[in-house]
Chains A and B, each alone.
Chain A
Amino acid sequence: MNARPARPQRTHRSGPRPPSLAGNLWTLAALLLLLVLSAGSALLRLGPFNEVANLGIAAVKALLVLTVFMRLKTDNALLRIVASTGFAWLAVLIALSLADVLTRQPLLAPW
């Protein structure tokens, strides 16, 4: 076994500090409230805004889980970048293939 560098040994307690209990419970409450909101708004006749509300609320919920439960808010910045990269690449996949489908000459369905 070769020598370890002279860097001082750091201990395990380096991760994000434990979050507060109240913070977690409030987040759960917010998530459940958003769920009710989302179900309720879906029943209203809002036209295209139904979809905006659906996806907007989902995005907010996902952000809450990411930042609070998954601790992205307090953990190191690199993890925030990695997490956003996954979603950004998915956005590219959807956006550029939509660019095709939305601008195509409409094809008649075969039935």
Chain B
Amino acid sequence: MSTVERVPPPRSYLEEGYGLRSWLTTHDHKRIAILYALGITFFFFLGGLAAALVRLELVTPAGDLMSAETYNKAFTFHGVVMVWFFLIPSIPATLGNFLLPLMIGARDVAFPRLNLFSWYLYVGGGVFTLLCLLLGGVDTGWTFYTPFSTLFSTSHVLLAVVGVFIVGFSSIFTGLNFIVTIHTLRAPGMTWFRLPLFVWSMYAVALVMVLATPVLAMTLSLIALERLFGVGIFDPALGGDPVLFQHFFWFYSHPAVYIMILPAMGVVSELITAGARRRIFGYRFMVYAIIGIAVVGFLVWGHHMFVAGQSMYASIVFSILSFIIAVPSAIKVFNWTATLYRGDIGFDAPMLYALGFVGLFMLGGLTGLFLAATALDVNLTDTYFVVAHFHYIMVGGAVMAYLGGIHFWWPKITGRMYSEAWARFAAILMFFGFNLTFFPQYILGYEGMPRRYHEYLPQFQVWNVLSSAGATILGAAYLLPLFYLAWSLRHGARAGPNPWDARGLEWQTASPPPPHNFEQTPTVTEGPYAYR
């Protein structure tokens, strides 16, 4: 790693102001990214705490630690917080906000004030969710299925719904900002097919945010109205249809999976090319795959409803479409592998995270095909197989990539290098902890253990104990970066503008970048990943 001392750079964005006020009123996309990072980290560990409670309860078959109601609230809180307050904003709002303008050679996003407003919405939504927790929580599961959420649940459904509604607007505005920024603010010479794949993934994700989130917001409003006034279109006693709710909910929530995984794919494309010193294999295919996933992702939502009373014929259509979306995902895995082939692979921490991502994403994706098959899904619905599947995608995939990205761009964001040894150790520990936590859950699900119960049959105990032990390791691995990254802020070696010798406009400016990103608006003359 080159840690060459450089002449003191011009005033960086970190030196724009030091007071709290200078941060809370900033319009600089880089500072807003950091504000998001703080919020997201807070919610990540809060949601993690809820997961810890769940895993602790499941060490023994008997429901001895907490009541069924408390358990329901624990996993609901875990789901709500992790989905809307961590995973959805994680990469787009932090790395995306920070890097998007840098990568396309812009001075800021198109609407800086709207960007700051999005963050306040995020915080506002968070406040409602915390309020909901403090007043006793909500027990519907993160999916808010009717009629339970509208008629029977006695917990604070309304507060939770309001929290998610508000944070939804935060993601709509972020998406809108990204779309306009990419369309209008590219530097001279930065044509569409010279954009780094990370930017493409941000574009796709912004598309999904803008087109899917309003559907969620309106559906949640309908829940709130139905709960408040006792009338609506979801209540079967009034002639309504709860399956309609599931249609609307999954119209958002399946694409939401791609809000989580597309940015991860973008990050990994950057990490792998830089780590292997190779041009990305099949750049155009990667772009088409990203857009393909974003669009086809809107056509598959019914695979969540195979046993919900959806018509058999619709299920068949949704099943086939779900198989189709595996194709672009597979193209991406194939191209990453081909990029690594004959690469000059260095095993720095970001690369370890990226490789971890590829493996875990593949396992998660392949088990997704099991669930897309209607016949098999009937057996596996609502078992731990599903839980393991989506945790492989979201935790094994999205969180690994997020942390990989944080490590890769850490020197750019802070101007400091972290401890490489600790970072590698954390990455490896995380990989093992993750597999130990979630692989047993595949087996449990296959054997028929249902999800969302606080007690289970004694024959499942061995795998559950293994899973909880893995969760302990995973938790420790997640805490590690908190310490060594914080340590690096003061004691880390100073990073030059381009410590990884990577391509991409963000590496051509100082670390940390000056307030308006570039001394001179760059002119782009070649495609991305000009390695070899």
Contacts and interface: CB of A to CB of B under 8 A. Distances in A.
**A contacts B directly (C-beta below 8 A):** yes
Interface string B55-84: 000000000000000000000000000000
B518 A93 contact: no
Contacts of A105: 311
Given A2-B518, A110-B236, A96 B188 contact: no
Contact of B314 (A1, A5, A7, A96): A96
B239 A111 contact: yes
Interface of B: 107, 183, 187-188, 211, 215, 236-237, 239, 241, 243-244, 247-248, 251, 298-299, 301-302, 305, 309-314, 317-318, 514, 516-521, 523
Given A86-B211, A100-B243, A110-B237, A92 B518 contact: no
A110 B235 CA distance: 11
Nearest to B183: A78
A3 B314 contact: no
Contact of A85 (B211, B310, B520, B523): B211
B516 A2 contact: yes
Q: Which of B107, B188, B312, B314 gathers most chain A CB within 10 Å?
A: B314
A100 B521 contact: no
List of 9 A-B pairs having minimum Cβ-Cβ separation, nearest first: A100-B314, A103-B311, A104-B311, A97-B247, A103-B313, A5-B521, A99-B314, A89-B211, A2-B516
A100 to B, nearest CB: 4
Contact of A4 (B215, B236, B244, B521): B521
Interface string A37-68: 00000000000000000000000000000000
10 contacts: A2-B107, A2-B518, A5-B188, A78-B183, A86-B211, A97-B244, A100-B314, A101-B311, A104-B309, A110-B237
B519 A2 contact: yes
A97 B301 CA distance: 10
Given A99-B314, A103-B313, A104-B311, A1 B516 contact: yes
Contacts of B521: 2-5
Nearest to B321: A96
Nearest to A93: B251
Q: Which of A2, A5, A86, A92 gathers most chain B CB within 10 Å?
A: A2
A25 interface: no
Interface residues of A, number: 24
A110 to B, nearest CB: 6
Interface in A69-102: 78, 85-86, 89, 92-93, 96-97, 99-102
Contacts of B243: 100
Given A2-B107, A110-B237, A99 B247 contact: no
B444 to A, nearest CB: 31
Contacts of A96: 247, 299, 301-302, 314, 317-318
Interface in A4-21: 4-5, 7
A2 B519 CA distance: 6
A3 B309 CA distance: 62
A96 to B, nearest CB: 7
B298 A92 contact: yes
Contacts of B301: 96
Nearest to B517: A2
A85 to B, nearest CB: 7
A22 interface: no
A6 to B, nearest CB: 9
A104 B305 CA distance: 13
A111 B239 CA distance: 8
Given A5-B188, A103-B314, A104-B311, 14 more contacts: A2-B519, A2-B520, A5-B523, A7-B188, A78-B183, A96-B302, A96-B318, A97-B244, A99-B314, A100-B247, A100-B314, A102-B311, A104-B309, A110-B237
Contacts of B188: 5, 7
A5 to B, nearest CB: 5
